[in-house]
């Protein structure tokens, strides 16, 4: 029977997931110390283990070379930017991965962000706690134009949740989904058109060489002054310094970020802007999503395949 290692701190401290994994495998080590495993520490933890459940730990060619017994990595979550898939395939390591497993958790957070920013909830909450009783007229989510950059599992789920609000939805993606667009009355759009048109811009992209800094200073400047930006996808997609300037100068109305290029974020000036809402990378971490992700990761220990560019994942 395979020897299993769980590097994820979240999975390791979840009693239900621990119990369910131990029903399938007897020889399991968990990250009970809550260590942030990286480099030699990650290698030492995984040494002698054939399969692993991982989350945010970084796997590159050096890690794979140092772990010849490792045959399977099963992903707890959906993001893959921390795994060098080319190196993984070169070393013959299989990937267990289920796309969209936490999509509802993320899309609901995005809607909560949109409503909060449109109604000035963070700013007014802070004011009332300071003794200021000032009413402001915000906007409803209903009827707004929402631009979705990245129409994968989460983007599609978000579009479906927006339908009862009567929002106009624009979608930008490198792929085309004509049947979905027709079904949901979503309009495919170029990135420039989307940014110049949408009242709400929300990002749902992986982070790779093609999406790094996709919202550059120039592209951010295309947004309308009353528009809001939401990033619950990956840090590194947005030029955060340029965003800070636009928010400070009220050249866009507001932004909500769940992810940052460096986590925890270090720019206190950005974090303290009144029109900036921030959460600590909780998008895919509702109680329900954690269970779904964990169970998918357990399944992925047995249902997996070698990564193949353009095919899997």
Active site residues: 234, 263, 281
- Going by C-alpha positions, the residue among 101, 85, 292, 47 that lies closest to residue 208 is 85
Let me know how long the chain is.
Answer: 313
Looking at the DSSP bridge assignments, the partners of residue 187 are 170
- The CA distance from 272 to 258, in Å, is 15
Residue at token pair 């992986």: 206
- The CA distance from 274 to 124, in Å, is 9
Start-to-end C-alpha separation, the chain: 26
- The CA distance from 141 to 233, in Å, is 21
Contact yes or no for 74/300 (Cβ under 8 A): yes
How many Cβ atoms sit within 10 Å of the Cβ of residue 207?
A: 20
């Amino acid at each position: 029977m395979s020897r299993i290692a769980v590097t994820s701190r979240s999975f390791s401290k979840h009693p239900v997931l621990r119990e369910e994994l131990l029903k399938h495998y007897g020889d399991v080590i968990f990250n009970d110390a809550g260590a942030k495993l990286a480099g030699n520490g990650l290698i030492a933890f995984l040494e002698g283990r054939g399969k692993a459940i991982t989350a945010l730990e970084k796997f590159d060619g050096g890690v794979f070379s140092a772990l010849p017994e490792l045959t399977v990595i099963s992903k707890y979550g959906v993001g893959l930017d921390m795994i060098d898939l080319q190196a993984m395939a070169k070393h013959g390591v299989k990937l267990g991965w289920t796309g969209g497993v936490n999509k509802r958790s993320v899309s609901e957070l995005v809607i909560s962000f949109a409503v909060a920013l449109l109604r000035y909830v963070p700013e007014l909450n802070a004011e009332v706690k300071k003794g200021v009783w000032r009413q402001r007229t915000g906007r409803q989510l209903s009827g707004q134009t929402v631009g979705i950059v990245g129409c994968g599992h989460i983007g599609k789920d978000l579009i479906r949740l927006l339908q009862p609000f009567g929002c106009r939805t624009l979608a930008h993606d490198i792929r085309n989904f004509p049947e979905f667009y027709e079904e949901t009355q979503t309009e495919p759009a170029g990135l420039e058109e989307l940014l110049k048109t949408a009242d709400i811009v929300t990002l749902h992209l992986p982070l790779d060489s093609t999406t790094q800094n996709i919202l550059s200073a120039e592209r951010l400047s295309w947004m309308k002054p009353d528009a809001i930006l939401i990033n619950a996808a990956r840090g590194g997609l947005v030029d955060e310094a340029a965003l800070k300037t636009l928010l400070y100068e009220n050249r866009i109305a507001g932004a909500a970020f769940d992810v940052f290029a460096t986590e925890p974020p270090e720019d206190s000036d950005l974090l303290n802007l009144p029109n900036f809402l921030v959460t600590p990378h909780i998008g895919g971490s509702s109680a329900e999503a954690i269970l779904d992700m964990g169970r998918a990761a357990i399944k992925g220990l047995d249902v997996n395949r070698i990564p193949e560019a353009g095919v899997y994942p």
